Amino acid sequence: SDHALDYPASPHTIDWSEHYPAFSGSGKRPEFADIGCGFGGLLVALSPLFPDILMLGMEIRVQVTQYVQDRIAALRTTSADPVQSTSSTTAAAYQNVSVVRANAMKFLPNFFSKHSLSALFFLFPDPHFKARKHKARIISHTLLAEYAYVLRPGGIIYTITDVHELHEWMKTHLEAFPLFESVTEHELRQQGHGPVLDAVYHSTEEGKKVERNDGEKWLACFRRKEASRT
**E strands in 69-213:** 83-84, 90-91, 97-101, 117-123, 151-161, 180-183
Please, what is the minimum distance in Å from the beta carbon of residue 140 to ligand SAM?
Answer: 11
- Between 106 and 189, whose beta carbon lies closer to ligand SAM? 106
Residue 205 assigned to a binding site: yes
Please, what is the minimum distance in Å from the beta carbon of residue 155 to ligand SAM?
Answer: 19
Cα dist from 210 to 55, 148, 162, 194, 205, whole Å: 24, 29, 7, 21, 9
Q: Is 36 in the site for ligand SAM (CB under 6 A)?
A: yes
User: Which of helix, strand or coil describes residue 150?
Assistant: helix
Interface with ligand SAM (CB under 6 A), residue total 20
User: Which of helix, strand or coil describes residue 84?
Assistant: strand
Given candidates 53, 104, 156, 170, which one binds ligand SAM under the rule CB under 6 A? 104
Q: How far is CA 147 from the centre of its chain?
A: 11
Given candidates 125, 159, 162, 180, which one binds ligand SAM under the rule CB under 6 A? 125
126 is catalytic: yes
- What residues form DSSP beta bridges with 161? 218
Please, what is the minimum distance in Å from the beta carbon of residue 21 to ligand SAM?
Answer: 24
Q: Is 59 in the site for ligand SAM (CB under 6 A)?
A: yes
Q: Is 207 in the site for ligand SAM (CB under 6 A)?
A: yes
CA gap 181, 184 in Å, rounded: 10
- Between 60 and 196, whose beta carbon lies closer to ligand SAM? 60
